[in-house]
Chains A and B, each alone.
Chain A
């Protein structure tokens, strides 16, 4: 009798310890995404208002993450859309009105300081620690992680989109032996994706001369709204600085800038007529139609030109790609691509469901969910975690998807940040207007001097010291200037 009792107790102890071990094991194996789901269940039944740029972006929460989240947690996702240039305004207005209209926000990283300083964003450090998300945050590709997450040391958003402007080119034209021979003979170096802007111009003119007007050397984003990103990059790569770090005087009108302006005007001459009006739509449709040999643009071009997502409903507005098997990917001249725009996920400070909103973004931004999201055919969210770039599944989506991801990965290491200041939109507006004047034929030096004067006036208005603090914070980031 005593023996059985003893054995029974031993057995219980063994079972108990096995159970405990198993539970402990699963707790540590439980991912950030799972933790978020578990914690969110207690908020089941509420509705979260999620604010997205209108167009393709909202398809993610509407068709994919929203329904999935609701199934997992019982929380409904209501998507509110807005044209991208209204997003800042509507976020600020909702904040000012105290209406609690939005719970989850999409924030353009270079506008994060403005929104954070205005108090519209909820600081997230407490939540991050509470739900153990620091580790996975570290796994975001460095350039986004270190630059699009914090304002003055506090976390205000999770980088959620690997926007970077890379070079797309027609491999078939570059690999063609006749072209290679003729080019080498003319210019003395091998025909290859351009490493400098001089090479870019040489190659462009060569191709336009040989194939034009059927095929032009390149078609670029020249519309001021987009061109300002490319200018920011080119200016810094050539050695320019936006401001004098001590006096905060604008140095955007240096000789470097004048030269770049002149070069851009010269380049337009061998590009398709009307290129000054080209935005994203014109450039990518021209590339897909085979009308241009090179273009610098956002990551979706690389996927769509390869035919990824063809046949899906959401992408049925995209014209046929005629260049699916002939695309090459490379870093733009100078090797420091612009991390243009991008998005970070934030929680509105006026939200009435802050914790639930936070858990939703932790879940969306986590390793496993974000991996699925960036591979959606209609995704406009581009790879932004280190694991995305090496994912075997993604790399096999089309023949040279591996090259595509490699270039994006390099971009995520060497990329340059958009300039970020207090009231950055006003500075960018001056730049946009300057570029539009350039296409209208005004003198570059005059334009840049006016721009510098505008910038100085703005800085004075905002407060030189205040702005200097924010500028220094930005300029000290590893990817602000190519050092």
Chain B
């Protein structure tokens, strides 16, 4: 009897490792070399002209500390993520609620709502840039109709308007992501429990907290995590709309890293930046994970 059990346990062990093996393999295949190279180059001094492969110590990391522009871009990134994420989450949730029950043409409408995510972010940024243009764009026209006169809003030039413009484009493009994920999650919530709660006269908030939230939490958590990581690394939309301008006002960490790595060829320094980002994000994610796991 015991040998049968241990055999099951053994085959289970093999099974579970077999299941994760392809994933680990493919990630390592593509990810390992770049990561190692990243670490190594961050301790070297490789730039456009220097191909110096000798160990340079922590000079790149020291440079990080001195670099105002880097910390400003981090600040921009954090604030941007902190604003965009709740908006997308709440809007996505409300939309999912809206579409949860039967609705005529539901499939068509859902498919249409998903369109923004299918447009390449480069094109999305460009089309919003065009739509917000003073001369060629309809948005200012629409605003003028409501305001009753000519408006002059330079969405990609004026300091007060650039972040709203970027947020509009970003939220427009990715709320459907939240929407679809939450729709799938909400549709798996046990209807019997919901009906029972309603019969018992529970308030909307109670129902939400006790029944809905726990049921969708796993998916919602992942969606928020993925979205937060992507917002942190946002590049395409901001690049096409403002190139990080005016000045460096809308420069996020990715745009700064792009300037360093691609335009200025500061390979070593951008590797150090990459590590800073990875470190910060890992710390945050681990902290978030602990909190969520603890509360379950």
Check whether chain A touches chain B (CB < 8 angstroms): yes
Interface code B158-180, partner A: CB below 8 Å = 1, 0 otherwise?
11000000000000000000000
Q: Which of A118, A274, A436 contacts B246 (CB 8 A)?
A: A436
The answer to whether A433 has its CB under 8 Å from any CB of chain B is yes
Q: Name which residue of chain B comes closest to A213, CB basis.
A: B150
The answer to whether A437 has its CB under 8 Å from any CB of chain B is yes
The answer to whether A185 has its CB under 8 Å from any CB of chain B is no
* Residue pair B154, A274 in contact (C-beta under 8 Å): yes
Which one of A363-371, A405-413, A423-431 contacts B? A423-431
- If A273-B134, A273-B152, A277-B133 touch, whether A89 touches B245 (CB-CB below 8 Å) is no
* Residue pair B264, A277 in contact (C-beta under 8 Å): no
Contacts of B135 on A, CB cut-off 8 Å?
272-274, 277, 282, 286
The answer to whether A2 has its CB under 8 Å from any CB of chain B is no
Q: Name which residue of chain A comes closest to B259, CB basis.
A: A429
* Residue pair A433, B263 in contact (C-beta under 8 Å): no
The answer to whether A434 has its CB under 8 Å from any CB of chain B is yes
* Residue pair B247, A433 in contact (C-beta under 8 Å): yes
* Residue pair A426, B134 in contact (C-beta under 8 Å): no
* Residue pair B245, A114 in contact (C-beta under 8 Å): no
Contacts of A274 on B, CB cut-off 8 Å?
133-135, 152, 154
Contacts of A439 on B, CB cut-off 8 Å?
154, 157-158, 246
The answer to whether A379 has its CB under 8 Å from any CB of chain B is no
* Residue pair A434, B157 in contact (C-beta under 8 Å): no
User: How far apart are the CA atoms of A277 and B265 in the complex, in Å?
Assistant: 28
Q: Name which residue of chain B comes closest to A89, CB basis.
A: B262
Contacts of A440 on B, CB cut-off 8 Å?
157-159, 245-247, 249
The answer to whether A320 has its CB under 8 Å from any CB of chain B is no
Q: Can you offer 26 A-B residue contacts whose CB atoms are under 8 A?
A: A89-B262, A89-B265, A92-B48, A117-B49, A118-B48, A272-B135, A273-B135, A273-B152, A274-B133, A274-B154, A276-B154, A276-B157, A277-B135, A422-B49, A425-B263, A429-B263, A436-B245, A437-B245, A437-B246, A437-B247, A439-B157, A439-B158, A439-B246, A440-B157, A440-B247, A442-B247
Contacts of B49 on A, CB cut-off 8 Å?
117-118, 422
The answer to whether B207 has its CB under 8 Å from any CB of chain A is no
Contacts of A117 on B, CB cut-off 8 Å?
49
Contacts between the two chains (Cβ within 8 Å), count: 73
- If A118-B49, A441-B159 touch, whether A277 touches B134 (CB-CB below 8 Å) is yes
SS of B interface (majority): loop
How many residues of B are counted as interface, with CB atoms below 8 angstroms from the partner's CB atoms? 24
Task: Enumerate A93-118 residues with CB–CB distance to B below 8 Å.
Answer: 114, 117-118
Task: Enumerate A337-396 residues with CB–CB distance to B below 8 Å.
Answer: none
The answer to whether B156 has its CB under 8 Å from any CB of chain A is yes
* Residue pair A89, B134 in contact (C-beta under 8 Å): no
Contacts of B159 on A, CB cut-off 8 Å?
440-441
The answer to whether B248 has its CB under 8 Å from any CB of chain A is yes
Task: Enumerate B48-62 residues with CB–CB distance to A below 8 Å.
Answer: 48-49
Q: Which of B48, B136, B245, B264 contacts A433 (CB 8 A)?
A: B245
* Residue pair A277, B157 in contact (C-beta under 8 Å): yes
User: How far apart are the CA atoms of A440 and B165 in the complex, in Å?
Assistant: 15
User: Which of A86, A429, A434, A440 is most buried by chain B, counting CB atoms within 10 A of its CB?
Assistant: A440
Interface code A212-251, partner B: CB below 8 Å = 1, 0 otherwise?
0000000000001000000000000000000000000000
* Residue pair A436, B263 in contact (C-beta under 8 Å): no
Contacts of A273 on B, CB cut-off 8 Å?
134-135, 150, 152
Q: Name which residue of chain B comes closest to A273, CB basis.
A: B152
Q: How far is the CB of B147 from chain A (nearest CB, A)?
A: 15
Q: Name which residue of chain B comes closest to A225, CB basis.
A: B243
Contacts of B134 on A, CB cut-off 8 Å?
273-274, 277
Contacts of A276 on B, CB cut-off 8 Å?
154, 157
